[in-house]
Amino acid sequence: MTEPRKAKTGEPMDDDFWRRAEEKADAGLDPSRLRRRVGRPTLGDKPAELTAVRIPPETRRALDDRAAQEHTSASEVIRRALDQYLAS
């Protein structure tokens, strides 16, 4: 038999763990215990959309080099380049 996965607290996520979790959920949620999770910053008023683009390896290397030179991410370089292209 394999070991059960462990929760963030380190306790095993066994049947007893899930029974206690179910009891807590049935008892209700205390909103004062909620914490805002930190995630990626928004890029506008609405959630950003992901668009996958295939590029050749040499273009990717050039993109990574440019991002490193500018101390930014490849995504930011792409966003700026696309904005500039679309504005022209």
For the stretch 1-54, pLDDT in tens is 577 788 888 888 999 999 988 888 888 877 777 777 677 777 888 778 889 999
CATH number, domain with residue 66: 1.10.1220
The CA distance from 88 to 82, in Å, is 10
The answer to the question of residue 8 being in a domain is no
What pLDDT does residue 42 have?
A: 77
Q: For tokens 């306790």, what's the residue?
A: 11
User: What is the domain count for the chain?
Assistant: 1
The answer to the question of residue 29 being in a domain is no
What pLDDT does residue 1 have?
A: 59
Please determine, for residue 55, whether its predicted confidence score (pLDDT) is greater than 90: yes
The answer to the question of residue 82 being in a domain is yes
The answer to the question of residue 6 being in a domain is no
pTM of the model: 0.53
The answer to the question of residue 17 being in a domain is no
- Please give the residue that has the higher pLDDT: either 60 or 43: 60
The answer to the question of residue 22 being in a domain is no
DSSP-derived 3-state class of residue 66: helix
Q: Which domain holds residue 75?
A: 49-88
Helix axes of 74-87 and 57-69: crossing angle, nearest 10 degrees? 100
DSSP-derived 3-state class of residue 12: strand
